[in-house]
Structure 1
Amino acid sequence: MHLAADLYAVPAAPENSESPQLTPTQLKVLRCVRSGLLNKQIAFELGMAEATVKVHMTALMRKLNVRNRTQAAIAADRLGRLASL
């Protein structure tokens, strides 16, 4: 039986792994996700098509090993990468 909390748990990165290598655009998209923007809003903010935002989100979620945008935002906090943007 799965608990509801398991659905929102962010998988922990292995201790000996390096931080994922994110492109500058992926970092910008991640910052927008962390701010709570929708894909359409991110597309407008960054001057790209909504489909392009979706491509970046898919790549981000794979690199961060998360299943949804909430987990991606939490992982971004853990990485501490957004302070430089």
Structure 2
Amino acid sequence: MLLVVSELVVNVLQHPSRSPVAEVGMTVGAGQLVVSVADAEPQLPVLRPGAMGAGLQLVAELAAAYNGDVSAESAVDRDGKVVLVRFDIPS
């Protein structure tokens, strides 16, 4: 989890953004752990294999190792976006 959060926060700091501020969250439920990183940049990242940067590719590979995935969506309550990483919790 630490590596996933680190990579996503570094992306907020490295890529052009309206603000270098990120909001990090974690939720657990329905057999999944969900990590979210929100920032003020409205442009969604490209999440296709081969089109992602090295950090986001690493995050996607880590999620896939736990039957999870990576998605991004526009923020609902403000300008910006949220990147979500889902992991199945092993039983």
Q: Pick the TM interval, shorter chain.
A: under 0.3
From the two aligned structures, give the one with the greater strand fraction: 2
Choose 1 or 2 for highest CA Rg: 1
TM-score normalised by length of structure 1: 0.28
Higher helix proportion (structure 1 or 2):
1
After TM superposition, the score normalised by the length of structure 2 is 0.27
